[in-house]
Structure 1
């Protein structure tokens, strides 16, 4: 029992950390300048992860992230740490952390292609890009070193009167309001050793439990471009490829099936040694289903005609069907579409006319929120396919800037 003479309990105060809340593409995240983080969190490790978890509001057994900045979806449970790059011919280092919603886990295994669109804007506005490289008016070419995947990305950031231009007329399906267009180039996006197809095959027989499919085998294209991705024919799983979120996210059995496919794909791609390890690698690989184009109605009510697209793709992120398309998965889609013989190319074969040599074609695919166009330059050299770059347009905008507060005990 507490009496008036009992000492008052001592509670740690909250600390303030400078931060910017930004939308990039169809994602949102909390952006930090590395040097603004508490000293303990400026290096990778438990303190950094603990800070980011508390900022976002994870782990949350209610799945809402009410006590943090997260939005309770994989698209809005994200963090970015940026620093001036000391790497030759680069302006900024970009590190992405995908924060789990209901688990105490930050996944550093891959990139976020959508938030990449906001990296250049943040870097310019926060003095991370040398002023001599930023025009008063025109396009600033921000050279980004993506630290998670050790790759170069170039963001084309529009400038007006010395400031980043964020407003404009560019419309991106999955984003309600128009904004300025930001073109993003992913250079040589296959993995560091050039193993675009980790198994060496354009199509593999992926062995899965018979409760996934009776035969225990699925055809799969497993590619590492942008982000490791496992592509499956939608028809093999009983889907049309034109599903919206509720059709899959409201089906617990379907979500468990896709997670099983993801785990077995991760093993066959050499990302993990045993399927049990998939639980500690939630961000990668992605799983996507592909299908030839058909008419459908997007989640916003927009009518998508099969003549407007080359194929349909639906992809899962962090265990749920994405409301639009992850930027990194779009890189994988564009790359695979440019290479004859992949499941993605075959699904789009009626619409595409890609050659077996150099290619700089684009592909337009349907996703739950609408459509997206992505271009890829792929070349076959001595029987091996290489992708030189993948290009797509996104948009980005600062939503709020100031300080994020967390209890001092969080780190």
Structure 2
């Protein structure tokens, strides 16, 4: 049955559009907030709020004005935007389901998150606050090399670097601190082992981890010190035992962070000492994982379930039980830097066998920079098949159709 309700969606960028379409298909009326008046998802709004997705108070002010005009708000969700504090600011003020302000703080501040997980006994890498650069060398020595340096409160892998020696630290710190809105930087032990993306629906404390994919870091040897992921694949290569342990740990992290309603996205690793949490987020993932890849793999409309949770509606066991098992792979375009003069092969890539989604993020006249974070990737292909390797091959073959001409 269609919902006779109104949903506030924060985020209207290109990745949000698939989720916004799902909300429309559910029959919901949509209040959509984004700081960019040209954001593509705003075209699907019944009511628009033009305010930064990071400014929860500004969104709340305009939402309250709509409520005074008779527009009820029954739920709030961020659509592929990492803005838990904005969501929690609004849900707390309006008495709606979602993260508490404290939980939202924990998942938006990497140091606070690690402190909380450590206190609750959740396995994590060793870490240290190096916001004071005078502590950088001694704390790096204590953790040991290689290690990771990152901003405490940034997104999209901005400023995240793999550090293999002391002489890299100072320049890396300078880059990381520039990417932190609060000028805070941390170090973290580099954990060796396969990494996984997970995504979990949490309904009144009960967890349903439907998203589970192997992360692909084949570019790392040449992207270093930057850690650029080249997609991911499901089903996982991990053993059933390892997968079960990863799921147990990420769901335990959600409990430690007191997330009882909504979504937990996990960045996980399986080490010689077992599964550990790199980071968790209290939001829907980007990279079309929640909107496209999980539904392709499991048959479950993950976004629909997340929206129901945001409105306080319980989920049935049938709703969260996979009804199919397909292999899914995503791969990104690997392009040299330069100014784009022409792009060829887009239609062929889109129509390539096995491809479920193909997108380009660049256009003629754009300058492709050397990759230093995930926001700079030029495009991708998501492919599906009955087996994992075939899905990977389909994605790669689609990308092989793209030819870029560069200006001299």
TM-score by length of 2: 0.25
Which gives a bigger RCO, structure 1 or 2 (Cα 8 Å, sep 6+)?
1
User: Going by fraction, where is strand more abundant, 1 or 2?
Assistant: 1
Q: TM-score, normalised by structure 1?
A: 0.25
Which protein is richer in helix relative to its size? 2
